[in-house]
Amino acid sequence: MKKLFLFLTIVTACFMIVNAATTFTVDGFKYTIISEDESTVEFGTDAKYGNAKTNVVVPATVEYGGKTYTVIGIGQYAFAPASGTTTKLLTVELPNTIKYIGKFAFRYCSNLQNFQFPQNLESIGSQAFDYALNIFGGTVVLPESVRELSSGALTEGSTVFNNLPIKKLVVGKNVESIGKSAAYADTLIYNATYVSNSPVATSDYNALFTVTKCLVLGDDVCVIPQGFVLLESAYDSDLIIPDNVKCIKEYSFKINSRSVIINNPIFGESLRIIEPKAFCLNSPTVKGTITCKSKYPPVAYEEETAENPSFPKNTVFDNCSLVVPVGTEKSYQLADFWRRFILNMEEDEALGDYSDSQISSESFSFAQNGSVIETQSATILPLSIRNKYPVSAIEFDMEIPTNIVLCSPSLTTTDRTEGASVNTSQGVDGMIHVTIQANGTIAAGKGAILYLNINAGKAGDYEIKLKNVKLTIGQEILLDDSELQFVANHKKGDYNEDGDVDIVDAQNLLDYILGI
């Protein structure tokens, strides 16, 4: 029996040796071999360099035993300071060979400067940046390569409710797995195409993300995960469900407080069902216009007919009207939940395509009584915007032809921008820089935002170019030109401004050329 026990002990010891991870040190840094076959290593596992190093450059490859290894990971606690000490770490440069960052890797590294994610990063471990979120300067843009966010990957503190929120978080389209309380943000731009069911409790306040001010879902989002987001008490923004989403699952939107306000919700054209408790826990206030782009009324469970309605009982629908596709009014008027709202307008047929809006340089025509203009005459030119998201500020440069003169006041607000401040200054290359600062937000939609008051010297076609457009969502986000479309509501060639380009306009132009 003793011999057998001794044999088992020797076999067990050999097994442990064979399976033990090999570590080595190069230039004072610890590496752990992950795969001999693939020649890959992990940097700094449990090394806690935070109180020993000031500036660290992690190499892409390292030599050991006559072999070259690729550094593909940052180990757990790699840069965290030792317990009871203060971090000295100021800079860390990571190579693009890094595919994952381990749990607590940068815990308490609050003095880091200019931190950059590796461009091939695929995974962020649990609480990897615990008490170190300030190193991002308030904005976190994840590389498109990221596929996994572990629980608490971008949270700070022991619970989400004690967290310091990220000002703006952008999640890329390739994320497939998200853990509980992955991030806490003022504004979340979420583009993940598909995320499977998440390990989030359905009946409590835990969620994948907590959002305090603004949530933007990208056009390519197909699935809103169960337990997706907790909307905090200060939330007061529009909500747009993308066209590819077919179902809003139960507990997708958790409402932390009755003071949460959802403005102008838009439900995409593929939506078929809003499950019970899709919006759960507390009762939000829904304001403005509810838009349903689906030709078939989505199934929604209402308070009067379901034990667990889609929206919590006592949800306030503050004088909401319902906008639906043309020709579907009767279906919505007969459908549960939707029949409670007043159908006071029809959806414009082009509304379903307005996510494809873009900047365009528009032309317009000007004439007076179909004849030659000898003196300057004024006209009002509406400048319209098609914005997919609610915006709080708009900036652009305006290029005006030399034979166009601006009247005073040159720019005035419309119903869409009522109460907003409009300021002009000298822009680049002689252009006029225009800034619109909303009193609150300009709701998602389309229509004139400014009236341009101009004088033209003579009849003809003119082009006003709008360049360098910036759109601000909430307080932090700047989107590019592709989010806006400005339209000058004058048809090119319409010299008598009757709304049509026809033979009369041709005659007017000919008369002008001949000097008649």
Question: What is the pLDDT, as a whole number, of residue 506?
Answer: 58
Beta strands per DSSP E along 36-85: 40-43, 55-57, 61-64, 67-74
What is the greatest pairwise CA distance in the chain? 123
Do the domain assignments include residue 464?
yes
Highest mean pLDDT among 43-52, 67-76, 313-322, 391-400: 67-76
Do the domain assignments include residue 461?
yes
Cα–Cα distance list, 7 to 4, 18, 93 (Å): 5, 17, 49
C-alpha to C-alpha distance for 276 and 279, rounded to whole angstroms = 8
Do the domain assignments include residue 466?
yes
Q: For 440-496, write each residue's pLDDT tens digit.
A: 778 777 677 888 887 765 656 667 777 777 777 654 444 444 333 333 344 445 555
Question: What is the pLDDT, as a whole number, of residue 360?
Answer: 33
Cα–Cα distance list, 206 to 23, 26, 132, 165, 302 (Å): 38, 43, 22, 15, 25
Q: Are 329 and 295 in contact (CB under 8 A)?
A: no
Q: For 1-20, write each residue's pLDDT tens digit.
A: 444 444 444 444 443 433 45
The arithmetic mean of pLDDT across residues 266-279, rounded, is 95
CATH of the domain at 385: 2.60.40.680
The verdict on pTM exceeding 0.85 is no
Do the domain assignments include residue 494?
yes
Range of the domain at 432: 357-514
The length of the chain, given as a count of residues: 516
Q: For 340-349, write each residue's pLDDT tens digit.
A: 888 754 444 4
Do the domain assignments include residue 385?
yes
DSSP 193: S
- Residue keyed to tokens 């317990």: 83
DSSP 353: G
The β-bridge relationship of strands 316-324 and 362-366 is unpaired
Residue 47: pLDDT over 60: yes
Do the domain assignments include residue 488?
yes
Residue 22: pLDDT over 60: yes
More confident residue, 72 or 471: 72
More confident residue, 230 or 352: 230
Do the domain assignments include residue 482?
yes
Task: Output Rg (C-alpha) for the chain, integer angstroms.
Answer: 30
Do the domain assignments include residue 507?
yes
Q: How many domains does the chain have?
A: 1
Q: How many CB atoms lie within 10 A of CB 35?
A: 11
C-alpha to C-alpha distance for 445 and 19, rounded to whole angstroms = 61
